[in-house]
Chains A and B, each alone.
Chain A
Amino acid sequence: MKRTLENIENQFETFQILNEEGEVVNEAAMPELSDDELKELMHRMVFTRILDQRYMALTRQGRLGFYAPTAGQEASQLGTQYALEKEDWILPGYRDVPQLIWQGLPLYKAFLFSRGHYEGNQMPEGMNALSPQIIIGAQYTQAAGVAIGLKKRGKKSVAITYTGDGGTSQGDFYEGINFAGAYNAPAIFVVQNNRFAISVPVEKQTAARTLAQKAVAAGIEGIQVDGMDVLAVYAATKQARERAVNGEGPTLIETLTYRYGPHTTAGDDPTRYRTDDLDNEWEKKDPLVRFRKFLEAKGLWSEEEENKVIEDAKEQVKAAIKEADNTPKQKVTDLMENMYEKMPAHLEEQYAEYKEKESK
């Protein structure tokens, strides 16, 4: 075969199971999920959509701080997470709070992370995860390290990490997948391609026509998935996980997705760089709409059930915000205590000063 760009790109055709109408277009690739599991996936997607709406509202009210909207990416975020086991490591980016929540991070802690409180970053005992990474790319090289560690320990688990389309331009993105490849480490690298890095469209990040093909540079498997199709995302991740724990190395998964909201709630206005046409085109691909159709056709989902999830989500958000409100305020001495195992003399001196201030 002649080596052309086209030949390379042809090896990364979009993997899809459900089309926009909720019809199965790739029966052979259907993952084995029970009716309850299918319903649980829908439950989580609806819950997370409501959570996003509540996050936006609470941020506007000043009751939450930093937030990177997730609406549109439910299939991509939750489909990957649903394929994980409890002992797997998650190294999330800043938009990947939902994965942490479904892996076991209490909602009030997610809210504390948003507000900027250290307790929001304290993962529950037994949950293998880092708090959301702000430095784009850093989670990739760290995930390679975790995966190498898992391999050395002989554990049958994986490290999964997430970045966006813009993040694929970072050096750490490449180093991460390349290290994991060189050590044949059990890592799953997810690129959530939502087409924009703040205002910069993916076409300005690279001339490569897929992001999945970047796996070639590391000599690892790469796959492009319809990121609005939760079954395809789940199936691709499940397969990558199986390969990884069987010692067959890392996989790069590109999910083609979209964020309906702004980049973050910190003043970004997507109407400056996105057209209504583009928004409308992607709204037709909504992961909830197509999965709802799929489940309804199987008699597994009803409006009543959906409303129950919505009410439950709102209640849980209310309770979590209350719990976050009740969390004691941070003191400088708390911050100092978390710096080192044993405080060095210079910090001990400052600790005494602040201890006195705090006692007044």
Chain B
Amino acid sequence: MAQMTMIQAITDALRTELKNDENVLVFGEDVGQNGGVFRATEGLQAEFGEDRVFDTPLAESGIAAMALGLALEGYRPVPEIQFFGFVYEAMDAISGQIARIRYRSGGTQSAPITIRSPFGGGVHTPELHADSLEGLVAQQPGLKVVIPSTPYDAKGLLISSLRDNDPVVFLEHMKLYRSFREEVPEEEYTVEIGKAEVRREGTDVTLIAYGAMVHSSLKAAEELEKEGISAEVIDLRTVMPIDIDTIVESVKKTGRVVVIQEAQKQAGMASYIVTEIQERAILHLEAPVLRVAAPDTVYAFTQAEEVWLPGYNDIIEKAKQVINF
């Protein structure tokens, strides 16, 4: 076991799979010699060579489409989109092409591609770096969308993503890259895609979150505990497909739910989750399911992040609302 940050766990997962499978290719803008703008691919080109880990021209559409072309030749591409705000440039390649290839070829072709990309607020990035756009890709049949919140999960989920024979969008929250260390096994292991994790058990209210909001939810749960409210915190880990069984089981226990996301209220995954809960567990609900989300504006100018991003106080407030409904 080693103490790792999330970024180190990600590098470790990439190294593991580059070693395990010669078809794994890591490429993108500055991921080669430079080791990535966040050092996620540091040392990988030196260890595995330019044929396996390489830089690309600056063009997201070309990068994602190249991944599909390489997949057709039997490779397992792991392209990087430098910041997920740039995904608009690659939307056709990802949602219009990669996601559809197995279906459109009648099951004869496939795209074992993992698209890695950082996103997320709270680190004062310039425009279109921090936007939460997981909702866009989660709406595309054919894609899986994974968002880890811990170093342990990041490694296990990334290895699973690389081994999946269908495309996975793997979103890495920038604020979580180096915010804490955790014990991460040095050997290889996997975390199943599509399975949530109960991070904290509770009996009064269920807090469902993903990404950085998992940690805000855990902090909110601690504060709520001081007031005698027992909150259960579910970390979705995969936002498409959603682990509906774990959610429903928790709802049946607590009867009260808040769904928490960093994305704007009209975006993200919260509405989808609320709908699933009301379809499957309405008779177990003591109160409406409420959402914590960012305001429906364009992502905040840097200096407005603090007042704009959802925080643990917002979670506490909504939790109390459903408790006192």
Contacts and interface: CB of A to CB of B under 8 A. Distances in A.
Interface string A152-183: 11000001000000000001100110110010
B165 interface: yes
A10 to B, nearest CB: 29
A121 B105 contact: yes
B244 A345 contact: yes
Given A145-B69, A146-B73, A345-B194, A135 B241 contact: no
Given A138-B92, A144-B66, A144-B69, A341 B61 contact: no
Interface of A is mostly: helix
Interface stretch (A1-9, A37-45, A240-248, A332-340): A332-340
A182 B107 CA distance: 32
B266 interface: no
B251 to A, nearest CB: 17
Nearest to A330: B106
Nearest to B142: A339
Contact of B106 (A138, A141, A338, A347): A338
Contacts of B62: 141, 144, 172, 175-176, 178-179
B269 to A, nearest CB: 13
Given A131-B104, A146-B72, A178 B109 contact: no
Contacts of A122: 105-108
Contacts of A337: 107
A150 B72 CA distance: 10
B69 A142 contact: yes
B244 A340 contact: no
Interface string B62-93: 10011111111111000000000000000011
A354 interface: no
Interface in A297-342: 335, 337-341
A346 interface: yes
A339 B73 contact: no
B65 A138 contact: yes
A138 B96 contact: yes
Contact of A130 (B61, B103, B109, B142): B109
B66 to A, nearest CB: 4
Contact of A179 (B66, B103, B104): B66
A125 to B, nearest CB: 9
A338 B107 CA distance: 5
B177 to A, nearest CB: 28
A123 interface: yes
A149 B75 contact: yes
A346 B139 CA distance: 13
A191 to B, nearest CB: 18
Contacts of B165: 341
B110 interface: yes
Contact of B59 (A89, A179, A346): A179
A252 interface: no
Contacts of B284: none
A143 B68 CA distance: 9
A179 B103 CA distance: 27
Given A146-B69, A152-B51, A344-B241, A141 B61 contact: yes
Contact of A175 (B59, B72, B75, B242): B59
A17 interface: no
Contacts of B71: 145
A60 B71 CA distance: 39
Nearest to A344: B241
B97 interface: yes
Contacts of B131: none
Interface residues of A, number: 41
A147 interface: yes
Contacts of B228: none
Contacts of A212: none
Contacts of A128: 72
Interface in A77-130: 89, 118-119, 121-123, 128, 130
A152 B105 contact: no
A182 B57 CA distance: 8
B56 interface: yes
Contacts of A71: none
Given A89-B72, A142-B65, A150-B73, A344 B103 contact: no
B105 A131 contact: yes
B144 interface: yes
Contacts of A145: 65-72
Give the most central of B69, B71, B107, B144: most A CB within 10 Å.
Answer: B69
B93 A141 contact: yes
Give the most central of B108, B194, B242: most A CB within 10 Å.
Answer: B108
A71 B31 CA distance: 47
A202 interface: no
A148 interface: yes
Contacts of A131: 104-105
A341 B165 CA distance: 7
Given A138-B96, A145-B67, A179 B57 contact: yes
B166 interface: yes
B244 A172 contact: no
Give the most central of A89, A130, A145, A176: most B CB within 10 Å.
Answer: A145
B102 interface: yes
B68 A142 contact: yes
Interface string B279-313: 00000000000000000000000000000000000
A159 B69 contact: yes
Contacts of B108: 121-123
Contact of A346 (B72, B107, B241): B241
Nearest to A175: B62
Contacts of B144: 344
Given A135-B97, A149-B75, A153-B73, A141 B65 contact: yes
Interface of B: 51, 56-57, 59, 61-62, 65-75, 92-93, 96-97, 102-110, 141-142, 144, 164-166, 194, 241-245
The 10 closest A-B pairs by CB, nearest first: A145-B69, A149-B73, A141-B65, A145-B66, A175-B62, A118-B106, A344-B241, A146-B69, A122-B106, A338-B107
11 contacts: A123-B109, A135-B96, A144-B66, A146-B69, A148-B69, A152-B51, A152-B73, A338-B102, A339-B103, A340-B142, A341-B165
